Structure 1
Amino acid sequence: MSDHAPVILDIAGLTLTDIDRARLAHPLCGGLILFARNWKNREQLTQLCADIKSIREDLLICVDHEGGRVQRFRTDGFTHLPPMRSLGELWMQDGGQGGSAMHATDVATACGYVLGSELRACGVDFSFTPVLDLDWGESGVIGDRAFHRDARVATLLAKCLMHGLLQAGMANCGKHFPGHGFVKADSHTDIPIDERALHAILADDAAPYGWLSATLTSVMPAHVIYPQVDSRPAGFSRRWLEDILRRQLGFQGAIFSDDLSMAGARIIDGREVSYTEAAIVALDAGCDMVLLCNQSVESEGGVAVDELLEGLEAAAKQAKWVANARSDDRRRALLPATPSPTWDWLMAHPAYLRSIDLLI
């Protein structure tokens, strides 16, 4: 087995194919990300996760499951979680000066506990949540996924949600560093550019990352260019990841690239790059893991995934990329340390039932 398995990939369907199994067994594969297309019901998801773990116990099974419009599993008993903005609105019900703020923190913890517990009961290890972007009212792709415009409110609500995840035995992921909420463009289809100076970003959008440096277990940087800081998007920038996030803000956990198939990841230094090139630049900049999503459903049936795995393997042999054992330690640290609950146990567990009451 490799001492660094940085690739997080995806699969097309409800069960594993022989090709999926071969990719997941590749020594450079560290896990996979699930989507709504991989969901039929709890029984199917639980079996799929068990099949994945039968290939390698250390594979990290991930999902984007935040609440609101970004929630991959919504039927067969999964609780419909609120968008994070609703927690910020609850905080402000009495002007943010009294009991509503305290109640909002309790609801945020309940939200994290329900989110983490339900996923873990089906065998999912990890969710890319919470969003730490600020709600500037400009970004359609972030929008109500953000807690609040005020970095202090967003930070405290996120911390409470992460407390709930921790109670469920799940790690967390703050995204999208240093902040995606200020720009209008969607990095799935564009390359957003934020023209603000570094001091302005650090004083506002990036502030939660410093305040949560001892709480965050992982971070996902934005496919956004901040030209006054670096000409490269944050996820490909050593300045942002190593100098600012790790050294200046003190973050010690794992760093995931955002999806390398997004438009914001395909142009680096003014040039369109291959997935392998993008992955190498991201890893060299300080990412521990790289995501390549939605390629298994392309007409070629995931050729891009194979090209990335083979390309990284060749790059390692040619010393164009050096595996990092510390990066893999950070990946493994995101795996749950406690046994998963059963769904039946969860449905009778007092902490879960109280959390459900708070969310209804």
Structure 2
Amino acid sequence: MHAHAPLVIDVAGHSLTTVDRQRLAHPLVGGVILFGRNWKDRTQLVALCRQIKAVRHDLLISVDHEGGRVQRFRTDGFTHLPPMAALGAMWMRAAKAGEPEGAAALEAANAAVATGYVLGAELRACGVDMSFAPVLDLDHGESSVIGDRAFHRDPRTVTVLAQNLMHGLRQSGMAHCGKHFPGHGFVKADSHHAIPVDRRSLRAILAEDAAPYGWLSATLEAVMPAHVIYPRVDSLPAGFSSRWLQDILRHRLGFRGAIFSDDLSMAAARQIGGREVSFTEAALAALAAGADMVLLCNQSVVDGGAPIDEAIDELSQAALKGRWQPGALSEERRLALLPRAASPEWEALMVSERYMQALSLLPG
């Protein structure tokens, strides 16, 4: 067993190269995140996932696959999943004559389980271990990057729908990751390109945007913090802040699962305290603040993957020099996200009663 494998990296193409295999075999690499460029069709995706697991069976294969506009695989039989806002709209549907009070909300909750099951089962049938979903952000109507990726504006509605979606994912054998703690929905700026700043008080954030994380503390298996600065709480972005990750998320809200940094190649991740930093500095800052895993995305296509090799090398040096201590508990949390059961066969899944029933319950 590895002491701690915190790096999640990507690969460039439809199959692994010799260099990809060497990187994935490194003891500091704990996972792979897949993108649209890694997809040609289902047969190819299944083969790629098998190649990854052949390097190391404990590598966590993940993808951003939420539904709506964030869904990496959309063809060759994959269901076009609704955006999460469609479940929120179901919840708010006007009551029909003669139906009991709250029937719409219960229907939406059931549809959320079905959505989670379809999402997870299709990915598992191709060998993917985990999706970075659901979005727990609130739809304040301001954020272009969140928008209909959010279930609703009300944190209570978000909590119940997310809990049911996660239940569906669990039924399919897939782990989940709630994001973006403590909330990305209030700010307009997109953290892929700038550093959003949310000037609300801690009390206001805990009462609204961060509330689902407390209410779901017994359910959540993983959390991804936002690349957002909340200056009234800490001058550092949440993903680099031990105040947010340790004091608030772990201690105050009681979260016990894995913490993933958001993509550390994003513009907002490369600025700490007004200073431009390298990926390794960003990774060390995230790990020191309390992250268990750090993501470096879309770097296999830059200079033949030189940024990944540099990151692996520098993180190794940091461990040797004692600038970073690998954590056994972090490794436990990573391993806990791996599926327990074998992945289903696609053809068998397509004709299974449970899958067909779940499809019939998806929002139209």
> TM-score normalised by the shorter chain: which range applies?
over 0.9
Corresponding residue for 1:68? 68
Question: Residues 309-348 of structure 1 correspond to what in structure 2 (within 5 A)?
Answer: 309-348=312-351
Match status 1:183 vs 2:213: no
Partner secondary structure for residue 261 of structure 1: coil
Instruction: Judge conservation of contact 2:95–2:103 (CA < 8 Å) in 1.
Output: no
- Alpha-carbon distance in structure 2 between the residues aligned to 1:172 and 1:243: 23
- Alpha-carbon distance in structure 1 between the residues aligned to 2:19 and 2:137: 37
The TM-score, its normalising length taken from structure 1, stands at: 0.99
Corresponding residue for 1:114? 118
Question: Residues 243-254 of structure 1 correspond to what in structure 2 (within 5 A)?
Answer: 243-254=247-258
Match status 1:304 vs 2:307: yes
Corresponding residue for 1:39? 39
1:151 to 136, 155, 161: 155
- Alpha-carbon distance in structure 2 between the residues aligned to 1:269 and 1:307: 23
Corresponding residue for 1:222? 226
Q: Which consecutive unaligned segments of at least 5 residues does structure 1 have? A: none
| Code of the aligned partner of 2:31 | G
Counterparts in 2 of 1:105 and 1:321: CA distance versus 1, 3 Å? same
Question: Residues 222-301 of structure 1 correspond to what in structure 2 (within 5 A)?
Answer: 222-298=226-302, 300-301=303-304
Q: Deviations over 1:275-303 (max 9, x none)?
A: 000000000000000000001112x1111
Corresponding residue for 1:17? 17
- Deviation of 1:95 after TM superposition, in Å, equals 6.7
- Alpha-carbon distance in structure 2 between the residues aligned to 1:224 and 1:286: 16
- Alpha-carbon distance in structure 1 between the residues aligned to 2:83 and 2:148: 6
| Code of the aligned partner of 1:352 | Y
Corresponding residue for 1:3? 3
- Alpha-carbon distance in structure 1 between the residues aligned to 2:331 and 2:23: 18
- Deviation of 1:2 after TM superposition, in Å, equals 3.4
- Alpha-carbon distance in structure 1 between the residues aligned to 2:171 and 2:33: 22
- Alpha-carbon distance in structure 1 between the residues aligned to 2:234 and 2:218: 26
Match status 1:104 vs 2:108: yes
Q: Deviations over 1:107-146 (max 9, x none)?
A: 1100000000000000000000000000000000000000
Partner secondary structure for residue 93 of structure 2: helix
- Alpha-carbon distance in structure 2 between the residues aligned to 1:26 and 1:94: 55
Q: Deviations over 1:310-354 (max 9, x none)?
A: 010000111001110110110000000111100011012111010
- Alpha-carbon distance in structure 2 between the residues aligned to 1:56 and 1:107: 36
Aligned residues: 359
Partner secondary structure for residue 61 of structure 2: strand
Instruction: Judge conservation of contact 2:230–2:238 (CA < 8 Å) in 1.
Output: yes
- Deviation of 1:100 after TM superposition, in Å, equals 1.1
Match status 1:357 vs 2:345: no
Partner secondary structure for residue 92 of structure 2: helix
| Code of the aligned partner of 1:118 | E
- Deviation of 1:98 after TM superposition, in Å, equals 2.3
| Code of the aligned partner of 1:316 | A
Percent identity, please. Answer: 67
- Alpha-carbon distance in structure 1 between the residues aligned to 2:333 and 2:250: 14
- Alpha-carbon distance in structure 1 between the residues aligned to 2:299 and 2:5: 19
Partner secondary structure for residue 343 of structure 2: coil
- Deviation of 1:94 after TM superposition, in Å, equals 1.7
| Code of the aligned partner of 1:290 | V
After superposing on structure 2, the runs of 4+ consecutive aligned residues of structure 1 that deviate more than 4 Å are none
- Alpha-carbon distance in structure 2 between the residues aligned to 1:348 and 1:144: 31
